[in-house]
């Protein structure tokens, strides 16, 4: 079978590997059907991921069909359509015991720390897959994992319909968080420096869009919130500066959710957090969010069809990467199809 392996930064090779085999009775063999390309895959490709190791078969947004099952697999059958949960946790450390397995002390993520799903066949334990209805298309199915990230953000921020949420950054992550925040019934403002992204945000239900290049963002947030600030600020820009700004946009007793993996320090005073009792809460991956997100997809709540803009055969991965990085073309989610 063919696997897409980043052998070292900026080298992505189509390797021929042996077909994986079921080794444990709780595993299933999957024919991979589609894989989404994520910003984090691009970081691993370029060597700018702070966590990935090489060589690595990338791909963590994966959907496929079960073609063989181990003898102790009871919840799945041959022919089932599934999505892969990339998060692997130990189940016994402090974090796992308190139900925070996405930050397990031995956390491994498929496609990051161990091989992921950009390969024609994949063996996975049944606890790392979720069944999806046959009515969902393969390309829709790969959008489930990105929305587990958005759902995790909303859960960390404890979003309710009374919140006034400000999402900084209208890239793929920011836009999916916007959709999720609107599903929760909250008010949502969003900023970016590109008008075409803000135009999409408007179509996705943003209550206000802010071009951070053109107007003073803090003034605008205060104007939109009766001078109080946003109750939740989500930093999907992830620069040193944006984290500092996020603290200045949030109201007293508000929550700030940073999403960045930036190692450089930001300058934030203790006073700005203590005096106003700000909660700063990181949000990483997802914690058991697949069932809820799959329900949203079954109900059509998120209307994700228009988020998928381009499709490539998986063997065209290097063309897909070049396309994503071409500043002249707009792309939303780019999907690899494994139909060969």
**Count of residues touching Mn ion (by CB under 5 A):** 1
**201 contributes a contact to Mn ion by CB under 5 A:** no
Smallest gap from Cβ 215 to Mn ion, in A, equals 31
Which residues in 23-52 contact Mn ion (CB under 5 A)?
38
Q: Let me know how long the chain is.
A: 340
**Closer CB to Mn ion, 34 or 38, in the complex:** 38
Give the tokens for residue 113. Answer: 């720390």
Distance CA 181, CA 158 (A): 10
Smallest gap from Cβ 272 to Mn ion, in A, equals 31
Distance CA 62, CA 115 (A): 12
Q: Which residues of 306-335 are buried (b: 16+ CB within 10 A; e: fewer)?
A: ebbeeebebeebeebbeebeeeeeeeebbb
- Strands of the sheet containing 2-8, edge to edge, are 11-16, 2-8, 56-57
**Closer CB to Mn ion, 189 or 312, in the complex:** 312
Query: Can you spell out the DSSP letters for 1-51?
Result: -EEEEEEETTEEEEEE-PPP---STTEEEEEEEEEEE-HHHHHHHHT--SS
**Closer CB to Mn ion, 20 or 35, in the complex:** 35
**Closer CB to Mn ion, 222 or 337, in the complex:** 337
Smallest gap from Cβ 40 to Mn ion, in A, equals 5
Comparing CA positions, the residue from 157, 1, 14, 156 lying closest to residue 64 is: 1
Per-residue x/- track, 207-246, Mn ion (CB under 5 A): ----------------------------------------
Smallest gap from Cβ 20 to Mn ion, in A, equals 22
Residue nearest Mn ion (C-beta atom) = 38
For β-strands 333-337 and 308-313, DSSP reports them as parallel
**Closer CB to Mn ion, 38 or 82, in the complex:** 38
Which residues in 108-127 contact Mn ion (CB under 5 A)?
none
**Closer CB to Mn ion, 189 or 290, in the complex:** 290
Smallest gap from Cβ 298 to Mn ion, in A, equals 21
Residues that bind Mn ion (CB under 5 A): 38
């Amino acid at each position: 079978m063919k696997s897409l392996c980043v052998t070292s930064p900026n080298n992505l090779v189509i390797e021929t590997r042996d077909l994986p085999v079921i080794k444990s009775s709780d595993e299933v063999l999957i024919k991979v059907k589609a894989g989404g390309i994520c910003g984090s895959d691009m970081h691993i490709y370029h060597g700018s991921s702070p966590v990935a190791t090489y060589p690595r078969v990338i791909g963590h947004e994966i959907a496929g069909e079960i073609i063989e099952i181990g003898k102790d697999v009871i919840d799945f059958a041959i022919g089932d359509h599934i999505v892969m949960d990339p998060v692997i946790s130990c189940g016994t450390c402090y974090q796992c015991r308190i139900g925070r397995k996405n930050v397990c002390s031995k956390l491994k993520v498929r496609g990051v720390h161990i091989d992921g799903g950009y390969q024609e066949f994949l063996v996975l334990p049944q606890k790392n897959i979720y069944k999806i209805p046959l009515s969902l298309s393969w390309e829709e199915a790969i959008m489930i994992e990105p929305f587990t990230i958005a759902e995790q953000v909303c859960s960390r921020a404890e979003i309710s319909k009374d919140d006034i949420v400000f999402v900084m950054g209208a890239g793929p992550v920011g836009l999916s968080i916007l959709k999720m925040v609107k599903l929760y019934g909250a008010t949502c403002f969003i900023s970016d420096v590109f008008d075409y992204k803000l135009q999409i945000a408007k179509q996705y239900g943003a209550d206000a869009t802010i071009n951070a290049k053109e107007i003073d963002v803090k003034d605008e947030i205060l104007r939109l919130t009766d001078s109080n600030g946003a109750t939740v600020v989500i930093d999907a820009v992830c620069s040193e500066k944006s984290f500092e700004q996020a603290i200045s946009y949030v109201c007293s007793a508000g929550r700030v959710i940073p999403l960045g993996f930036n190692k450089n320090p930001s300058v934030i005073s203790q006073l700005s957090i203590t005096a106003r009792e700000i909660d700063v809460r990181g949000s990483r991956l997802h914690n058991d969010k697949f069932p809820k997100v799959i329900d949203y997809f079954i109900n059509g709540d998120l209307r994700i069809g228009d988020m998928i803009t381009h499709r490539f055969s998986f063997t065209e991965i290097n063309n897909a990467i070049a396309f994503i990085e071409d500043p002249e073309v707009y792309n939303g989610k780019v999907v690899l199809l494994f139909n060969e």
